[in-house]
Amino acid sequence: MHRTVLLNEVIDGLNLGSGSIVVDATFGGGGHSLEICKRYPSVRIIALDQDQSALEKAKSKFKDSNCDVTFINANFRDLDRVNLGNLSVVGSLSSGLRGRRRKNFPSSPVDGIIFDLGLSSDQLENSGRGFSFQKDEPLLMTMKENPTSGDVTAKDVVNTWGEDSLADIIYGYGEEKQARRIAKRIVEFRKKQEIKTTFDLVKVIEEAIPAKFRKGKIHYATKTFQAIRIAVNDELGALAEGLDKGFKLLKVGGRMSVISFHSLEDRIVKRFFKKKAEENLAKLINKKPIIAKLEEIKNNPRSRSAKLRILSRR
């Protein structure tokens, strides 16, 4: 069962009230939004997720809710292009502030925005798209439920990308020290047969890594799977765009809560927040990331790596 990470810390940090408008940019299982509805029944929520199946599964949780929830199947990098209903949003506010008084611009309407960058347990275990190395599934790793022929998949990456490119993403996105060995073995293996499934890829990784490095706290395929998933979905590029576009939706005093789960994500969030604070466009609510308490880690081990940063727009 999926457990929402840092639930109370995220919602308390948003400082919401009656009638607030919240964008849940990574709706997933709906955990944060559901708790917001319980605390503030008159809140309006705009729920985004690029995985249509995630939206459909979570909708039923809100059937008895008094919240006004709008469900949108979209990637948060497209926040400036999706129809958010009748909100009078001027998406290019921040980019037009140079040399002008901010008060001359209309106010953005959003009180809070949430980015929870972790994969839900449901996506890992039940999507059938190859996110988990523990199940034999087609090698897709795309967040889209029904990828088109134009969408990149993990199968495309491991069967067509060059050895140097593979090594670069496995090391850069997965921080895998055996990246060169793994990339070389992928290229050798695919000359004999196509890499089609998660178990095919696990076999390749196992053959590439020396036996003494296969034993550790995490499975030897974890970092490579993470790296390929990030590349397939352009997760870091999407995050940089989403933070910028989400910030532009916030009203003065509105807050953004971001939960990251690995250093590459946290670095992007930290730099974005710091830049906005230096430009005097925002205030850091917490200078150091908020992490899960021991009790939460005990009940939900995946919360161990979670880092929460909160920003308020000036």
Residue set of the binding site for S-adenosyl-L-methionine = 30-32, 49, 76, 116, 123
The DSSP secondary-structure symbol of 144 reads S
Cα-only R_g, the chain: 21
- What is d(CA 167, CA 20) in angstroms, rounded to the nearest whole number? 46
Q: Tokens representing 228?
A: 């390929």
Would you list which residues are annotated within the binding site? Answer: 30-32, 49, 76, 116, 123
> Which residues have CB under 8 Å from 66's CB, separation 6+?
37, 41, 42
Do residues 250 and 113 make contact, with C-beta atoms less than 8 angstroms apart?
yes
> Which residues have CB under 8 Å from 237's CB, separation 6+?
77
Q: Tokens representing 201?
A: 């890829």
Burial class (CB in 10 A: 0-12, 13-18, 19+), 43: buried
Phi/psi at 71 (5° precision): -100, 130
What is the torsion angle, in degrees rounded to the nearest 10, for the CA atoms of residue 209, residue 212, residue 213 and residue 214?
80
